[in-house]
């Protein structure tokens, strides 16, 4: 069986929303709680901010380069970090409780890094613009 067909079989298998439901069905695909999914999406958005911010920072000194990437990195970093902070604020328990505490903290840290990279790239791109 090829990898593609295995992934397709996983995609059409029933997805359960709790570990007990998965155990009762004999299904091994557990999507996670809504807060875990929220934290994971926030972490991916913040990671996107870091991934866009680093090249934007490197190309900020060139003429016309890095400004759009800097704004995108700043927005993605702030959005991911803010969602991570809100997720941590509403979490009822600690790690392993299904509240997305780890994902929220990763999103918060990556969001701050992405926002700082975007802010630095934006500041450097403004200094590199010719006056006139």
Domain identity same for 24 and 41 = no
Angle formed by the axes of helices 34-58 and 67-90, to 10°?
150
Domains in the chain, number: 2
Domain identity same for 55 and 3 = no
Around Cβ 2, how many Cβ atoms within 10 Å?
Answer: 7
* Domain extent at residue 85: 33-128
Domain identity same for 50 and 115 = yes
Q: Indicate the DSSP class of residue 71.
A: H
Domain identity same for 24 and 42 = no
Q: Indicate the DSSP class of residue 16.
A: B
5 Cβ neighbours under 8 A, 6+ residues apart: none
- Model pTM score: 0.71
Domain identity same for 59 and 119 = yes
Measure the CA–CA gap between 27 and 21, rounded to whole angstroms: 9
Domain identity same for 4 and 43 = no
Q: What is the pLDDT of residues 88-111, one digit of tens each?
A: 888 887 776 667 788 888 999 999
CA angle 101, 105, 95 (to 5 degrees): 30
Domain identity same for 8 and 66 = no
Instruction: End-to-end CA distance of the chain: give it in Å, rounded.
Output: 64
For residue 4, the model assigns a pLDDT of: 55
Domain identity same for 69 and 11 = no
Q: What is the mean pLDDT of the chain?
A: 77
Domain identity same for 15 and 75 = no
Q: Encoding tokens for residue 43? A: 């972490």
Over 70: is that where the pLDDT of 8 sits?
Answer: no
Domain identity same for 8 and 55 = no
Domain identity same for 8 and 63 = no
Measure the CA–CA gap between 111 and 75, rounded to whole angstroms: 9
Domain identity same for 38 and 81 = yes
């Amino acid at each position: 069986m090829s990898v593609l067909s295995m992934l397709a079989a996983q995609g059409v298998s029933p997805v359960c929303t709790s570990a007990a439901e998965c155990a009762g069905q004999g299904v091994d695909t557990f999507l996670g709680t809504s807060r875990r999914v929220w934290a994971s999406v926030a972490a991916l958005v913040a990671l996107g901010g870091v991934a866009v911010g680093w090249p934007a920072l490197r190309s900020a000194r060139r003429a016309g380069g890095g400004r759009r990437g800097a704004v995108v990195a700043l927005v993605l970093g702030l959005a991911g970090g803010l969602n991570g902070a809100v997720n941590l604020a509403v979490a009822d328990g600690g790690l392993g409780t299904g509240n997305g505490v780890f994902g929220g903290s990763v999103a918060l840290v990556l969001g701050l890094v992405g926002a700082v990279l975007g802010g630095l790239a934006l500041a450097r791109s403004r200094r590199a613009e010719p006056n006139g």
